[in-house]
Amino acid sequence: MSDFENAFDPKMLEFLVCPETHATLSYDAARQELVSKGAKLAFPIRNGIPVMLVDEARTLD
């Protein structure tokens, strides 16, 4: 698979919200994460697919 096939489409941000706060998310392309500032969580993107599970999220300082 090419990087293009694994790329996250930022247009998906229009449809995704934080599962904790239901607030909008921001996209961190460098880390391949979706960030919820309100919940202080970063959700990983694996193979272009956001993993929107709180148990899989990284806690932000």
Map out the domains of the chain as residue ranges: 3-59
pLDDT score of 7:
85
pLDDT score of 16:
95
40: left (phi over 0), alpha (psi -120 to 50) or beta: left
pLDDT score of 5:
57
Residues in the chain: 61
pLDDT digits (tens, 9 = 90+) for 12-42: 999 999 999 999 999 999 999 999 999 999 9
Specify the residue for token string 């970063």.
42
CATH classification number, 3-59, choose in 2.20.25.10, 3.40.630.40, 1.20.120.1810, 3.40.50.2300: 2.20.25.10
Residue 25's nearest CA partner among 34, 12, 15, 14 is 34
